[in-house]
Structure 1
Amino acid sequence: MSLLPLGSQVFYFASAVNSLVVENGCGGALLVDTGLDDAHARKLLREVEARGLVPAAILNTHSHADHHGGNAFILKKFPGLPVSAPPLEAAIIHFPVLEPLSLFGALPPHELQTKFLLAPASPAQPIGAGPQTLGGAAVELLSVPGHAAQMYAVRVGDVLYAADGLFGSESLQKHPLTFCADSAAQKASAAALAGLSGVRVVLPGHGDPTPDLPGLARLNLQAYERTTAAVMDAVQQGAATVDELLARVCTGLNVTMTNAGAVVLNRAVVSAHLTEGLTAGWARLEVQENRLLFART
């Protein structure tokens, strides 16, 4: 797959997770999100070099392994290349065991030390939102927390890379329990992106580019609300632990989990929507017989 144009000096490398490439006008390029692993990074570099460009910097929009797993391969080829990320996410990219550790609640067992949850470490530096120049490329970083604790969307003129602030329709259908660390913030970020003006094309982190930013945001908000409704329904069936509620939610959404990684990821989604419920007042937390339970108010 070659680099596909999105705008003047802005391209993307289409894959299971998209990478954005922004030319700096001097033969260099900012690479935004490097994919899951060496295979993605190798193909990305090949296409960048085919355009006569040299990587000038890396930006990771957030710390999930599929967005920074290619960093290590690229840094072997280009030692000293600056890597930037949102502050909290930069810490996780530098110490990637924090991702499965946060999901499991303890040092992760072997089953959770896969490339999908534990990427190689890279020395990311924290960077703030707003206008930035990275590797000579001028971009605007928009704060869109929710899917991750911190995350940036990237705007270059009339091109918006939403990262995982928005998902393509196929991805939403494939993953009914869309991952989030904060479901309320996830909804607020999608609504904020929908309100941006002057965006000609939007590229989600997973999916195809589209000119219909409001329509894409609407699909995402509908999917997030479906998950909230499924969690509310699960709680309505009676007080239960998070794991018991997860099983109810999966039944309601026709989701089948077959590995430990899927369980801890989906468990986190249910937990996020329960936290939203506690704040909104439709759920309450209680302790009974040494069990942490959630129930409807």
Structure 2
Amino acid sequence: MPLIALAPGVLYFPGAVNSFVVVGRETDALLVDTGLDDSHARKLLRAVAEAGLVPSGILNTHSHADHHGGNAFILGRFPELKVFAPPLEDAIITHPILEPLTLFGARPPRELQNKFLLAPPSPARLAPEPGLCRIGGADIELIEVAGHASMMYAVRVGEVLYATDALFGPDVLTKHPLTFCADSGLQKQSAAKLAELEGVRTVLPGHGESSDDLAGMVAVNLASYERTTEAVLDAVNGGEASIDELLARVCGALDVEMSNAGAVLLNRAVISAHLTELLESGQVEMKVLDNKLIFSAQA
């Protein structure tokens, strides 16, 4: 599959995770997000070569395995490349065990040490601070969009915005109603901030198809994020419960079926993030009861 042009010198490679490609000097190609695994990375490199380009650097917008899992394969072919990532995210990319360790709360069992939660390590360094910068010979603008991850950068090149996982395509939101987040409040703020950008003609989400309607995509995402908050609040209003009990209630309400331990941990984190938002807004309270952490509606 060839690279798809969004504007002169701005392309992407579609997949379960989109890889954004920015042309710099002559044939330099900055690769933004390298996909889940070697298979995606191999296809990405083939498409880049067919376009007459040569990788000049890697930027990972955040540290989730599906966005940096292809780094190791690409570095095996181009060992001179430098890998850049936002603060905190660079540490996880360098030491990927931090992701499943954080989700599980301890050394993760083997079932959780898979490519979806544990990518191969790659030596990441801090990306420049948000704003205009040059990476791998490409001139880009970094925009802070934390929330989905502890820190995350969207990338703008002229009239094109790669929103990464600050925004998702509508079909993706329908398929996965529990959108992952580390901070649901920040997730909403970051999405809303993108709607204020002027002059964006095309927006590409990390997952899903490109669109010429930034405001519409933001509105769909904000509505989805808010539905999750409301579902968590409804679950709490159904009677005091633990996080795992609330997770089961929310999955039942949103028709989510979990079939593996990784899905449970990821969705459990989503519930936790929205519970924190509800605690901070005074709609929910937390207590310890019978040696369990219990959440209930604010009296």
Normalised to the residue count of structure 2, the TM-score between the two structures is 0.99
Pairwise mapping of residues 51-62 of structure 1 onto structure 2 (< 5 A)?
51-62=51-62
- Measure the CA separation in 2 of the matches of 1:210 and 1:118: 31
Paired with 2:258 and 2:231, the residues of 1 have a C-alpha distance of 16
Report 1:169-188 matches (<5 A).
Answer: 169-188=170-189
* Equivalent residue runs for 1:123-272 within 5 Å: 123-127=123-127, 128-272=129-273
**What does 1:59-74 align with in structure 2 at a 5 Å threshold?**
59-74=59-74
User: How far 1:289 moved relative to its partner?
Assistant: 1.1
Distance 1:151 1:223 in 2: 20
Rounded to whole Å, the distance in 2 between the matches of 1:252 and 1:20 is: 35
| Identity across matched positions, percent | 64
Q: What are the Cα deviations for residues 13-70 of structure 1, in whole angstroms up to 9, with x where unaligned? A: 0000000010103211100000000000000000101111110000000000000000
Instruction: Give the distance between the partners of 2:180 and 2:14, measured in 1 at CA.
Output: 21
**2:98 aligned residue:** 98
Q: Distance in 2 between matches of 1:7 and 1:53?
A: 16
Tell me, in whole angstroms, the C-alpha distance in 2 between the residues paired with 1:105 and 1:129. Answer: 31
d(CA) in 1 for partners of 2:55, 2:212:
28
* Alpha-carbon separation, structure 1, partners of 2:237 and 2:155: 39
Once the two structures are superposed, residues 58-112 of structure 1 have per-residue CA deviations (whole angstroms, 9 ceiling, x without a partner) of 0000000000000000000001201000010000000000000111101110111
Q: What is the CA–CA distance in structure 1 between the aligned matches of 2:255 and 2:48, rounded to whole Å?
A: 41
Q: Which residue is equivalent to 1:290?
A: 291
SS in 1 for 2:88: helix
Instruction: Find out whether 1:10 has 2:20 as its counterpart.
Output: no
Residue equivalent to 1:80: 80
How many residue pairs match? The answer is: 297
Measured against aligned partners, the alpha-carbon deviations of 1:97-141 in whole angstroms (never above 9, x if no partner) come to 000011110111011111000000000001222111001100000
Matched, 1:273 2:274: yes
Provide the rounded CA distance (Å) in 2 between the counterparts of 1:25 and 1:150.
29
Amino acid of the structure 1 residue aligned with 2:158: G
CA distance in 2, matches of 1:36, 1:203: 18
Q: Which amino acid aligns with 1:82?
A: K
Q: Distance in 2 between matches of 1:137 and 1:246?
A: 43
Q: Deviations over 1:250-269 (max 9, x none)?
A: 01111110000100000000
Distance (Å, rounded) in 1 between the aligned partners of 2:227 and 2:114: 29
Q: C-alpha separation between the residues in 2 aligned to 1:62 and 1:162?
A: 12
SS in 1 for 2:285: strand
RMSD, matched Cα: 0.6
5+ long unaligned stretches in structure 2: none
- The alignment partner of 1:80 has SS state of coil
